[in-house]
Structure 1
Amino acid sequence: MTQSIDLREFDLFAFCRSGDTADGEVALRELPRILAETAAQAPASAPDERFRFQVHGMAREEAGEPGRAPVRRLFLDLSVEGSVWLNCQRCLEAYAEPVSTATRFEVVATEEEADAAPMDDDEVDVIAGSKRFSLLTLIEDEVLLALPVAPKHAVCESVHESLVTGADGQVEPEVEATPEEEKRPSPFAALANLKTKH
């Protein structure tokens, strides 16, 4: 069942137990940590750009230990799509980096349970639920995790003049030799001279 929820505060446990679904949009201006990552040269309309999200809760009964009642596990599926204006590290121009995430979370009762959960399951993250849970914070976390460490255009129209292509084909800062470095003998040349003396 699709329902309307308060993104800043809702009962996550009840949402998952009921198998509810919600979707909607969140403006960038509501996500201050993402706004802080936005390129200074982004369009003036950037804070009003929106992320689309869909969230679905579910409960799953699993057999407990012999002689004990079944265990009910709660899960939350969250997908987020949108874009963030970042500075390209090759041309230094602002560009819109697409963001598309889909994550399944297991919802546990406390932060201690979440911290103690094994980390060997790559398909499920564990989070602590709450009756006053902020979906905005979770959406913001997921967008931050999706941002590239080194943002770049797929193809740059030009490379910034302060950058040159290194020997490995990567764009690197240009380094000019100082007059002192130009006069200084190469250490390899000095080593070669030592070898010829023996």
Structure 2
Amino acid sequence: MRTRLRTVARAGACTAAAAVIGTAALIGCSTSTTDDASPTSAPPITGPEGTATVPASQNPIQQAELWNPCSLPKEVRDSIQLGDRTRNDDSIPPWRTCSYGRSGQHVGDPSYGLNVQVSTYSFAQAKQNDAYINIRSTTVGAGHPAFMADDDGEPIGGNKPGINIVWGTSYGSVSINLFPEGGTGPIDVDGLARTFVDSAYPHIPK
């Protein structure tokens, strides 16, 4: 299966760095999955929703302390028929990214990729991401504020280029990015991303 790593949540100061992830992230990718399951420290300032309000430049949490996005249980991947992880990338601080994919069993079957990303960028910074279009408010879990946004790009096989669901945490933010990779029919990227988030959210540190 062709693996495409898409790091699009490049708000604020990370714009220039993340813009090169299409090439840089393919080099120097980590394969470790033994990291701690939750951050070991917390930002000094959090908002009323319990989410970090400080920008990444003021966040004391180091990249290595962030939750490992490759630690999600198999049941979460199975919720939308994803295979095992295809890439674990820590090459562009403060991001940690784990990539998964689904390849159809037959010619023409839908295939898609998904990135789980965590960073010390705040929820407010994530909303400033210039790679997002059509941003709209939503919730995750039991009403936790979040937003959905389409990827800015050309359609892929008649499908929009991708969808993102982003929410804030006590250590920064989490982004789920799902994008089509092939197939002859329509792919419900919004529905697939929502199903994945519903399954993953309980396992992701708040």
Q: TM-score range by the shorter chain?
A: under 0.3
TM-score by length of 1: 0.23
Structure possessing the higher relative contact order (Cα contacts under 8 Å, 6 or more residues apart): 2
Larger proportion of helix? 1
TM-score by length of 2: 0.22
Q: Which has the larger radius of gyration?
A: 1
